[in-house]
Structure formats: structure tokens, C-alpha cells
């Protein structure tokens, strides 16, 4: 396999501003991500003294996995103070969208690049957002059915979706197997299909909770890269975090004030506020298997759903005795991450890195340094069939990825239609407009007749538009094979109006390109870039 980079226009000005070191934006971050000196400063920064403890917890979390020599080396390096490149993601069904894998490739790629540059071990770390409880975000994926040229949703169905952290959720193994079978039914059977189904079913049978199944797949694919994995909701990790959880609780008013001030500053600079939260404590607590936000009201801490009240001392006692019941929200999660790890760079999705611009002040409140913040790599996969169709219809790949096929489809249909017919209809539309203007002059000053002429013109123009649309629709139906081809291209490169990596599942790529497609021996070596990466056989 090989890759190349292609230019797409920046539909997200925020990321373009990071690439351009725009001072309006960089003021909200500790470091300019495009300045090489930033990386040297982070390499020279002092460690936090928690390296050994964090390494031992990660080793405990990964104990049931067959660790590679690269992972063992990174665990050792981490315990000795090696710095990390880090990022995370929710535990999606069957790996979730492709961008979860791409985030990991971003972490691995940047860690390798920094290791080569500074001749020091840099450890790639991926955290699973196991504390998240929005099950609707992770209980489904999509499969592309080439025969139908359609994307079909595949969902894990349950009558009782969890309301607590997904790490605490134990799904039905039989129902998960049904979801696996439903997924692969949509795909063409290849030499890789059976091994992939067996791998998925083995993961289901040997793991019990939702996050551990996600962990097993991530580990299977990325272990040879030395990737270390940790679940944010891992109980021993929560035990280790007790002192900082109490610090977050104690300082919640200062944190909230700094957060709100940062949001105000962001908006004053013309940037859109991203984080929406009703909490002023910025911590969750689990009550009777339901994850609830804490809010400080009139001297007490109230839960968002069960309306229970706690005193400060009661919460401190709970943190001491049941820390696994607590978890961070979007505001305090980055703080916890940086308290734990000696991070050089954090890799996030487009929305994630925007969140960090609103958090700069709270890092200062707790005297924690913000890492360098970078967007993940963007990658699309192009198979031989799609490439052939692009050539056949003379479709530019970058345009297809970025904006879809509507322009090409419209031009194709018009090329198959009678230009004379279209011209005659358009001529009648023009004549109708001219006649309308003349008639309006004739009845000028008579309100009823002016309304009559307006309505009549509207009816005629709609009829001409209907005539043209139905005529072109008939041409489209007469060329149904080509229309299917356009749907194929769009479903592969611009599915559901967006990038492939936001919809497609990594198992689809493995089914087509090979079970080892993401391995070091097969996947093309990448460089960190703001450009779009195109991977082909």
C-alpha cells in the first residue's frame, strides 16, 4: 500500500489558524503548535513524579493482553519518565468510525517523529473514554453495501440502554454477535471475512464490558506499534486520582470562574463557544448506576437527575472510599490527563481541540501546564474500483472527497439530455419573465390585478421548472447504471455529506484490504501533516 497527500480547502478555519500560527488563536494555548521551539521546551520541562505509578496502573490494565516487546519497552520507558503523545476516544461498536484509528495513527506518527528528532523515547498513549455514558453515540456503526451502493446502519439493540459509564456496562454477548453478523452481511465476502468474524466473536467471548471489547480490538491492531492503552474509568486509576479529584472539588469555584472567563475571552475574539455544560462543579457522580452531574447550589452539591444533596465533607469521604463513582466532565478531563502524564502533545478531533481553547485559564488556576494541542490526521481510502469509476467519469478525487458528486452528476445528466429541449424551456422561462414585466406595467396601481399577475407568473415559472426537473429526472432514470456509479463514488469518498473517516468502520477496510492492512508491514509510513492523506493499494 502507498499514500499521498492531497490539498483540500479548509472548511474549518480554526484548524487553518493553528497551521498559520494565528495570534488571535495562539493566545488561548500555552504553546504554538507550529513553532519547533515549543517541542524543545516541552522536552526540557520537568516531570511530575507520577511516572512510576501511572506506568504500573497501565501495566495492570493491559495485564490480560499479549503485550508486544514494543509495548513492554514503552511501559519501562514511561516508568523512567519518558514523555508521551496522547489522545483518546469513546469506545465505539466494532471500533467505531475510522477516525478512531486515525487518531491513534496520529499519536503514533507524532511520537515516532519526536523520538527521531530528539533521540529520546516518546510513548504513544491512547485513553478510552470509558466514563462517558451517552450510549447512543457508540452503539452503532455503518457498513457500505457495494451491491446497493448504500450505507446501512448496524446497531447493537438493547431494551435497557445503560445510563452509567460504558466501562460498567456488560452487553449481551449473543446480541453483539448478531450485530457482527449484521455488519458483515452488508459486505462482500472476501478471504478476510471469516477471520475477521472469528476475531470479533473471540473478542466478545473473552471480554465482558463494553470498553474492554473496544480495548481488545485496538490492542490487536496496534500492539506492534508499542501503543499503550488506559481506560479513564479503570478502578485502580481512579484510586490513584483521589488526591486530584479532591483538589478539583476543593477548587471548583475557581475552576468554574476561570472557565467562564476564558469562554468570554474566546467569544470577544470572534470565536465560537464550544463547551455547553450546566455544571459549575465539572464532576460527575454515579448514583444507582446512573451518571449524574454535580452542581453547587447554596452551599450544597446537587445531583442532576436524582436530586440528592451532599455536603463537601460527604463528597470528600466518598472520593476516599468510592473514587470509581466519580468522573470528569469535558472541562476537568484535560486537567486530569495532564496531572497524570508528562505530555508533549495532545492529539484531538476538530471539536476537541476547540474545547481546549476555552480551558487555558483553568490550567493556570491549578498550576498545570497545557500541552501542545494538534488536530488528528485525516485519511481516506481509495480502492481500485472507485479509482476506476473516478477515471471513467473524469471526477477529481479531491473534489469528490471534499464536496461530493452533485456537480459531476448534474453535468453528466445534462450531457445525456437534449440541449435543444433544455434551451427551449429556458427560453420560455425568459419569455415568461419578460411578459410578466409588461403585464405588471399594464395593471400598475391596481392592487388586486397586480396580485393576480404575480400569482399567474409564479404558477407559470413553477410549471416550467417542474417540466425541466421531470425531464432531467427521466434522463437520470434512463442512465440508472451511471447513477449507481455516482452513488458508489459518493458513498466511498463523501458518505452522508462528509469525510469517509467519520462514517466508515475500520473493519470494512480490513475486510477489503486485508486483516493486516493497519500493520507496520502493510500500512504506509505517515508523516504528521495538515493535508489530507489518501491511502491506496
Q: pLDDT digits over 302-316, tens only?
A: 999 999 999 999 999
% of the chain residues with pLDDT over 70:
100
CB count in 10 Å sphere of residue 76: 14
- Our separate counts of H helices and E strands in the chain read 23, 15
Question: Do 116 and 154 contact (CB within 8 A), yes or no?
Answer: no
Question: Do 200 and 222 contact (CB within 8 A), yes or no?
Answer: no
Per-residue cell: 437: 414585466
> How do beta strands 150-155 and 140-145 pair?
antiparallel
CB count in 10 Å sphere of residue 408: 20
Give the helix, strand, coil percentages of the chain, each rounded to 5: 55, 15, 30
Per-residue cell: 104: 491513534
The span from the first CA to the last CA of the chain, in angstroms, equals 4
Q: At what angle do helices 480-493 and 447-478 cross, to 10 degrees?
A: 90
Residue 133 has pLDDT above 90, yes or no: no
Residue 215 has pLDDT above 90, yes or no: yes
What's the confidence (pLDDT) of residue 10?
61
What's the confidence (pLDDT) of residue 13?
83
CA distance 453 to 442: 10
Return contacts of 150-157, CB within 8 angstroms, 24+ apart: 150/487, 150/491, 151/491, 151/495, 151/496, 151/503, 152/186, 154/93, 154/94, 154/179, 154/182, 154/183, 154/186, 155/93, 155/179, 156/93
What's the confidence (pLDDT) of residue 8?
86
Residue 3 burial (C-beta neighbours within 10 Å; 0-12, 13-18, 19+): middle
For residues 67-80, give the mean pLDDT.
97
Closest among 520, 501, 529, 483 to 401, alpha carbons compared? 501
Residues with Cβ within 8 Å of residue 448, at least 6 apart in sequence = none
Q: Could you say which DSSP state residue 223 is in? A: G
In a 13 Å sphere around the CA of 472, the CA atoms on its Cβ side amount to 16
Closest among 207, 168, 198 to 64, alpha carbons compared? 207
* Mean pLDDT, all residues of the chain: 95
pTM metric for this prediction: 0.92
CA distance 420 to 187: 44
CA distance 347 to 110: 9
What's the confidence (pLDDT) of residue 11?
66
Q: At what angle do helices 210-222 and 193-206 cross, to 10 degrees?
A: 130
CA distance 137 to 361: 30
CA distance 491 to 497: 9
What's the confidence (pLDDT) of residue 128?
96
Per-residue cell: 324: 470509581
Question: Do 252 and 296 contact (CB within 8 A), yes or no?
Answer: yes
Question: Do 342 and 83 contact (CB within 8 A), yes or no?
Answer: yes
- Residue given cell 475557581 in the structure block: 254
E strand segments, 52-190: 83-89, 122-128, 140-145, 150-155
Question: Do 244 and 336 contact (CB within 8 A), yes or no?
Answer: yes
Question: Do 155 and 138 contact (CB within 8 A), yes or no?
Answer: no
Question: Do 373 and 348 contact (CB within 8 A), yes or no?
Answer: yes
Residues with Cβ within 8 Å of residue 466, at least 6 apart in sequence = none
For residues 118-140, give the mean pLDDT.
94
DSSP three-state, residue 228:
strand
CA distance 355 to 306: 28
Residue 9 has pLDDT above 80, yes or no: no
What's the confidence (pLDDT) of residue 316?
97
Per-residue cell: 62: 493491559
Residues with Cβ within 8 Å of residue 15, at least 6 apart in sequence = 350, 353, 375, 530
Give the helix/strand (H/E) hosting 121.
none
Task: Please write the tens of the pLDDT for every residue from 457-509.
Answer: 999 999 999 999 999 999 999 999 999 999 999 999 999 999 999 999 999 99
- Residue given cell 509495548 in the structure block: 71
For residues 171-198, give the mean pLDDT.
97
- Residue given cell 493499494 in the structure block: 537
Amino acid at each position: 500500500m502507498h499514500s499521498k497527500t492531497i490539498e483540500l480547502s479548509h472548511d474549518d478555519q480554526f484548524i487553518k489558524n493553528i497551521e498559520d500560527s494565528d495570534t488571535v488563536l495562539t493566545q488561548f494555548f500555552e504553546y504554538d503548535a507550529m513553532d519547533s521551539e515549543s517541542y524543545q521546551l516541552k522536552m526540557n520541562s520537568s516531570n511530575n513524579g507520577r511516572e512510576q505509578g501511572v506506568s504500573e496502573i497501565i501495566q495492570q490494565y493491559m495485564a490480560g493482553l499479549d503485550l508486544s516487546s514494543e509495548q513492554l519497552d514503552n511501559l519501562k520507558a514511561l516508568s523512567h519518565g519518558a514523555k508521551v503523545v496522547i489522545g483518546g476516544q469513546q469506545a465505539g461498536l466494532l471500533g467505531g468510525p475510522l477516525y478512531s484509528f486515525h487518531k491513534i495513527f496520529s499519536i503514533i506518527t507524532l511520537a515516532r517523529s519526536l523520538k527521531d528528532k530528539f533521540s529520546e523515547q516518546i510513548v504513544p498513549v491512547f485513553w478510552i473514554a470509558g466514563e462517558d455514558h451517552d450510549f447512543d453515540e457508540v452503539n452503532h456503526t455503518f457498513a457500505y453495501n457495494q451491491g446497493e451502493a448504500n450505507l446501512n446502519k448496524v446497531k447493537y439493540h438493547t431494551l435497557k440502554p445503560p445510563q452509567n459509564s460504558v466501562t460498567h456496562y456488560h452487553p449481551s454477548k449473543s446480541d453483539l454477535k448478531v450485530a457482527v453478523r449484521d455488519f458483515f452481511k452488508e459486505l462482500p465476502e472476501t478471504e478476510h471475512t471469516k477471520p475477521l468474524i472469528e476475531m470479533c466473536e473471540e473478542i466478545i467471548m473473552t471480554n465482558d464490558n463494553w470498553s474492554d471489547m473496544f480495548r481488545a480490538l485496538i490492542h490487536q491492531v496496534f500492539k506492534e506499534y508499542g501503543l499503550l492503552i488506559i481506560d479513564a474509568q479503570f478502578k485502580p486509576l481512579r484510586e490513584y486520582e483521589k488526591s486530584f479529584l479532591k483538589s478539583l472539588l476543593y477548587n471548583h469555584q475557581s475552576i468554574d470562574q476561570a472557565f467562564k472567563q476564558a469562554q468570554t475571552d474566546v467569544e470577544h475574539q470572534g470565536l465560537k463557544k464550544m463547551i455547553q455544560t450546566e455544571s459549575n462543579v465539572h464532576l460527575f457522580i454515579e448514583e444507582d448506576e446512573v451518571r449524574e452531574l454535580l452542581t453547587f447550589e447554596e452551599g450544597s452539591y446537587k445531583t442532576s437527575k436524582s436530586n440528592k444533596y451532599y455536603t463537601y465533607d460527604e463528597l470528600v469521604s466518598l472520593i476516599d472510599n468510592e473514587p470509581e463513582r466519580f468522573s470528569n466532565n469535558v472541562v476537568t478531563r484535560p486537567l486530569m490527563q495532564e496531572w497524570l502524564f508528562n505530555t508533549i502533545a495532545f492529539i484531538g478531533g476538530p471539536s476537541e481541540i476547540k474545547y481546549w481553547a476555552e480551558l487555558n485559564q483553568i490550567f493556570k488556576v491549578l498550576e498545570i501546564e497545557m500541552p501542545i494541542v494538534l488536530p488528528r490526521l485525516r485519511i481516506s481510502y481509495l480502492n481500485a474500483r472507485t479509482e476506476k469509476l473516478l477515471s471513467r467519469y473524469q471526477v477529481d478525487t479531491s473534489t469528490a472527497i471534499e464536496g461530493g458528486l452533485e456537480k459531476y452528476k448534474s453535468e453528466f445528466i445534462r450531457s445525456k439530455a437534449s440541449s435543444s429541449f433544455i434551451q427551449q424551456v429556458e427560453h420560455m422561462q425568459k419569455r415568461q419573465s419578460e411578459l410578466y414585466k409588461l403585464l405588471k406595467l399594464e395593471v400598475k396601481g391596481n392592487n388586486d390585478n397586480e396580485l393576480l399577475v404575480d400569482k399567474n407568473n409564479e404558477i407559470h415559472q413553477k410549471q416550467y421548472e417542474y417540466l425541466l426537473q421531470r425531464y432531467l429526472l427521466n434522463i437520470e432514470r434512463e442512465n440508472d447504471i451511471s447513477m449507481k456509479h455516482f452513488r458508489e463514488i459518493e458513498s466511498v469518498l463523501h458518505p452522508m455529506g462528509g469525510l469517509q473517516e467519520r462514517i466508515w468502520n475500520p473493519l470494512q477496510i480490513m475486510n477489503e484490504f486485508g486483516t493486516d492492512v493497519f500493520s507496520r508491514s502493510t500500512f504506509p509510513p505517515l508523516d504528521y501533516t495538515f493535508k489530507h492523506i489518501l491511502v491506496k493499494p
